[in-house]
Structure 1
Amino acid sequence: MSRGSVVVVGGGLAGITAALECRERGYAVQLLEARPRLGGATYSFARGELLVDTGQHVLLRCYSAYLDLLRRIGAADGVRMQQRFAVPVLSPGAAPATLRRWNLRAPAHLTPALLGYRKLTVLQRARVARTALALRKLDPADPELDEQSFGQWLRDRGETPRAVDALWGLLAVAALNAEPENASMALAAKVFRTGVLDSASACDIGIPQRPLSQLHGEAGLRALTAAGAQVRLRCKVRAIRRGPNGFQIPVDDQAGQAELSADSVVVATPHPAAAGLLADLPVRGACDWERLSSAPIVNVHAHFDRQVTDLEMAAALDSPVQWVFDRTRISGARTGQYLALSQSAAQQELGMRTEDLRETFLPALRDLFPAARQAQLLDFFVTREPHATFRQAPGTASLRPGARTNVPGLVLAGAWTATGWPDTTEGAVRSGISAAEVVEDRQRSPQSVEVTA
């Protein structure tokens, strides 16, 4: 017997999680997604013989909620996790270095790696170790931390520009989609404490071994259907309104216009879409969500006629390239080697023409991988994510709403909400879990009184 009805708007990771969690709690669930697929921003498309992800995603072993979701939807075998954190760091014309954790208890697991990191001088390495210990003492939930930038905090501790470029920024830009100067210190503290410093194995990197459409969207659809949730694709929600007995949700779908009803609604869309959908409701703080803004990621794709590197993944220093991944096997490429470059905080690259990006990144790849100088380029293309994440800048913590709104029965989900995490797959999944918990709380206390803005 159903305990009530829930409509989830948005079929990304947050929406998939919220719908699964609500269904497992006994609610009648409809998941509405405007696109013809689930998965949100994580999806794949065909280009020639390649199946291409729009953006390269990785995870850390500390992504416990995300890993649990993959197990629940039958996709856990689609990720390969490092046995021990190791990242090759390449520079043009220089010997590579490797950031690698040791099999020691935290924080000692990083000490040998930092002291042996050849991209920094001995003095710089000593300062980095001292800064790491200071980071470990910070509370990411401290609101004062969110008011300053990571870059300023590093300078206050004597970190040099080289140390920022070669270590702190190397990791932070990828994790926060922001340069240290533009990144919230609170979110940086969360990244480095939870992901690197508090547990020895937390930083081990997982790389998807399937295209993201298979890993998230297709697996999520199968799991939701098996659980008894109704998934409606190509179903665009026009608004969300209060009715006499719950919510009315006018939609446009393949059959035309319709109006759905529900006891509770979980809005699991990006923040600009959420604000638009809730324009008819007095949701406190919604007018501030636009201040979260967005930050882009640009992905550069190069398919060579032969193998140019035996590395699965590497970071780059003193190069336009940030991170490079070997996508050959995962994409289904039958010839040569296919590399994907992930460029975070890519405001400059976002506005560049593909021809200009080719002139920048193809020579850079050949500098990093000399074997590419003799290789023929089979294909070169670019995918752009203009709104890949919210802008994770100082002062954003106060703008991120919790799952519970002041309108009873109306719940928010998404990596942009107040999860305590950066805008990551882990944050998205945790937000979906929180949303289902709020729905459950309302079931226990149905007489809640609406508070207007």
Structure 2
Amino acid sequence: MTRRLIVVGGGLAGITAALTAADAGASVTLLEGRPRLGGATFSFRRDGRWLDNGQHVFLRCCTEYQWFLNRIGSADKVVLQDRLDVPVLTPWGTTGRLWRTRLPSPLHLSAALSRYPFLTLAGRARVGLAALALKRLDPEDPRLDTMTFGAWLDRFGVTARERAAMWDLVGVATINLTADQASLAVAAKVFRTGLLDTNDGADIGWSRVPLQQLHGDAAARALEDAKVDVRLRSRVSSLEALPGGGFTIGADGGTLSADAVVLAVPHEDAARLIPADALILEDRRANPTSLAGLGSSPIVNLHVVYDRPVFREEFAAGLASPVQWVFDRSDNVGLERGRYLAVSLSAADREIDLTNHQLRETFLPALEKLLPATRTARVDEFVVTKERNATFRAAPGSRRLRPHARTALPGLALAGAWTATGWPATMESAVRSGLAAAHATLPSLDLDPGRVLPTTKPGAFPERTTTP
């Protein structure tokens, strides 16, 4: 008799776990409290078009996320740079670029650093020394999680200007914390995997369609094809382990029974649902309330529609500006007239509590300084989206609070970007967690996970040639 797995949560982690288990032969039911799939990556309708809740990109090193896109049939809806190329804009008009050559790491960045206008000769030396030292760090070393990345950079005499021009430019967007706040362990993972272990790991990819089409709609079709029973608007209120094995789940619409369960929900919800003494942290049992220590870090996104073209790039980073990253999303939403820019603000502890008016008064002038063409353009729309609990807080000490997929209860597994994937809270981390959860639960269903887990080889993607 086919045994039943219930996946709680329809984000990328839950979708991955459900598809992997179904591919292995399990009978899978996926419960999602919202009326859509996709979790933290979603779109909403406004004035007849889709707007994404925020700008989500991936890197070439995100192999499992690329597998996920292939699995749900969305690989043709993204573009991946042929080579890393990031324009860096300033309010005073100086423009720099961070790009790579095809030389092996770390030489692949040497040409860009030698011409990068925001570093002095001594600053380039300090950045180079820190990069070489970072390449030698082991992200799995628990000692790295006892200090901040900023404190480690101080050992090399890295100045605030150099930190802003290089390390925070990348780190804030990926870790959702500044160097002074982020765990050295997480920073080492980000910079080693993305920039230092290979020469192409940091090539940037992004969606050419709204996220709802890329993830939610495509996943719905893939789940249907895999015969997964998807139940939207089905919020889970309780999870109970039965003495003889198996579980009961209280959800909207009644009580369900399962042989195995994957909890693929935010850590705040997992803490509420995990049975007592089931959580394992660093090979020890822990009270689920300890997950509260992971905290949260916010992200704010601004959606600005101008009446005319104002930006020649597809995206750029801002330096010495409130604007961290700006993306031209006009083509993604099919905007025929005007231009739609998305401004992404990570580690937005200050911006999260500003009103829409305050954000408008701060960021429209900031955009005018970075993009002179906006000074004569009319603002037709200004929309704000806020994610107060966008990611867990990857601060020192967070490593010991991130549980592995397996719990103390056979058949119960955890998934989510906040679990112990070794990655920051990214789409890659979410997919990896879903794969780990499937690996942990399939044996309880008398199924072999080794037959269906991906080989971590990304598929082919449309590439856009960049010129350094």
Q: Which category of TM-score, normalised to the shorter sequence, fits these structures?
A: over 0.9
Kept in 2: contact 1:73–1:220 (CA 8 A)? yes
Q: Which amino acid aligns with 2:301?
A: N
SS of 1:31 mapped into structure 2: strand
SS of 2:36 mapped into structure 1: coil
SS of 1:387 mapped into structure 2: strand
Unpaired runs of 5+ in structure 1?
447-453
Corresponding position of 2:268 = 272
List per-residue Cα deviations over 1:59-85 (Å, max 9, x = no partner). 000000000010010001111000000
Q: Which amino acid aligns with 2:402?
A: R
Instruction: Find the aligned partners of 1:6 and 1:282 in 2 and give their Cα distance.
Output: 18
Q: Which is worse superposed, 436-445 or 146-155?
A: 436-445
Instruction: Find the aligned partners of 1:411 and 1:421 in 2 and give their Cα distance.
Output: 18
Corresponding position of 2:115 = 116
Instruction: Find the aligned partners of 1:183 and 1:338 in 2 and give their Cα distance.
Output: 32
Does residue 396 of structure 1 match 2:398?
Answer: yes
Q: CA deviation at 1:196?
A: 0.7
List per-residue Cα deviations over 1:28-74 (Å, max 9, x = no partner). 00000001110001110111143100010000000000000100100
Q: CA deviation at 1:282?
A: 4.3
Q: CA deviation at 1:245?
A: 4.2
SS of 2:189 mapped into structure 1: helix
Does residue 258 of structure 1 match 2:254?
Answer: yes
List per-residue Cα deviations over 1:175-206 (Å, max 9, x = no partner). 10001110010000000000111111111000
Structure 2 counterparts to residues 278-317 of structure 1, below 5 A: 278-279=274-275, 282-283=278-279, 284-285=285-286, 286-317=288-319
Q: Which amino acid aligns with 2:42?
A: Y
Kept in 2: contact 1:89–1:314 (CA 8 A)? yes
Instruction: Find the aligned partners of 2:377 and 2:446 in 1 and give their Cα distance.
Output: 64
Instruction: Find the aligned partners of 1:194 and 1:334 in 2 and give their Cα distance.
Output: 38
Kept in 2: contact 1:242–1:281 (CA 8 A)? no
Q: Which is worse superposed, 377-386 or 327-336?
A: 327-336
Instruction: Find the aligned partners of 1:264 and 1:127 in 2 and give their Cα distance.
Output: 52
TM-score, length-scaled by structure 2: 0.92
SS of 1:331 mapped into structure 2: coil
Corresponding position of 2:249 = 249
Instruction: Find the aligned partners of 1:303 and 1:443 in 2 and give their Cα distance.
Output: 51
List per-residue Cα deviations over 1:276-301 (Å, max 9, x = no partner). 11256643321210000100000011
SS of 1:330 mapped into structure 2: coil
Q: Which amino acid aligns with 1:272?
A: E
List per-residue Cα deviations over 1:235-289 (Å, max 9, x = no partner). 111100012441011111xxxx311100000000000001111256643321210
Does residue 436 of structure 1 match 2:438?
Answer: yes
Which one of 306, 319, 328 corresponds to residue 326 of structure 1? 328
List per-residue Cα deviations over 1:339-387 (Å, max 9, x = no partner). 0100000011000011011110000001111111110110111100101
Does residue 338 of structure 1 match 2:350?
Answer: no
List per-residue Cα deviations over 1:297-337 (Å, max 9, x = no partner). 00011100000111100000011100000011102222100
SS of 1:36 mapped into structure 2: coil
Q: Which amino acid aligns with 2:254?
A: A
SS of 2:421 mapped into structure 1: coil
Instruction: Find the aligned partners of 1:24 and 1:161 in 2 and give their Cα distance.
Output: 50
Instruction: Find the aligned partners of 2:6 and 2:373 in 1 and give their Cα distance.
Output: 53
Q: Which amino acid aligns with 1:398?
A: R
Q: Which amino acid aligns with 1:411?
A: A
Structure 2 counterparts to residues 69-84 of structure 1, below 5 A: 69-84=68-83
Q: Which is worse superposed, 47-56 or 202-211?
A: 47-56
Kept in 1: contact 2:260–2:445 (CA 8 A)? no
Structure 2 counterparts to residues 98-137 of structure 1, below 5 A: 98-137=97-136
Kept in 2: contact 1:300–1:382 (CA 8 A)? yes
Instruction: Find the aligned partners of 1:235 and 1:414 in 2 and give their Cα distance.
Output: 19
Corresponding position of 2:455 = none
SS of 1:265 mapped into structure 2: strand
Instruction: Find the aligned partners of 2:432 and 2:82 in 1 and give their Cα distance.
Output: 25
Kept in 2: contact 1:49–1:333 (CA 8 A)? no
Corresponding position of 1:449 = none
Corresponding position of 1:451 = none
Instruction: Find the aligned partners of 1:203 and 1:242 in 2 and give their Cα distance.
Output: 43
Q: CA deviation at 1:90?
A: 0.2
SS of 1:84 mapped into structure 2: coil
Corresponding position of 2:24 = 25
Instruction: Find the aligned partners of 2:325 and 2:375 in 1 and give their Cα distance.
Output: 19
Kept in 1: contact 2:25–2:447 (CA 8 A)? no
SS of 2:142 mapped into structure 1: coil
TM-score, length-scaled by structure 1: 0.95
Kept in 2: contact 1:49–1:332 (CA 8 A)? no
Corresponding position of 1:450 = none
List per-residue Cα deviations over 1:79-104 (Å, max 9, x = no partner). 10000000000001222100000111
**Cα–Cα, structure 1 residues 165 and 30, in superposed 2: closer, same or farther, change >3 Å?**
same
Report the RMSD for the aligned CA atoms in angstroms.
Answer: 1.4
Instruction: Find the aligned partners of 1:49 and 1:5 in 2 and give their Cα distance.
Output: 40
Instruction: Find the aligned partners of 1:245 and 1:319 in 2 and give their Cα distance.
Output: 56
Instruction: Find the aligned partners of 1:279 and 1:414 in 2 and give their Cα distance.
Output: 17
Which one of 369, 374, 377 corresponds to residue 375 of structure 1? 377
Instruction: Find the aligned partners of 1:98 and 1:85 in 2 and give their Cα distance.
Output: 10
Kept in 2: contact 1:49–1:334 (CA 8 A)? no
Structure 2 counterparts to residues 32-111 of structure 1, below 5 A: 32-111=31-110
Q: Which amino acid aligns with 2:113?
A: L
Instruction: Find the aligned partners of 1:281 and 1:149 in 2 and give their Cα distance.
Output: 31
Instruction: Find the aligned partners of 1:279 and 1:347 in 2 and give their Cα distance.
Output: 32
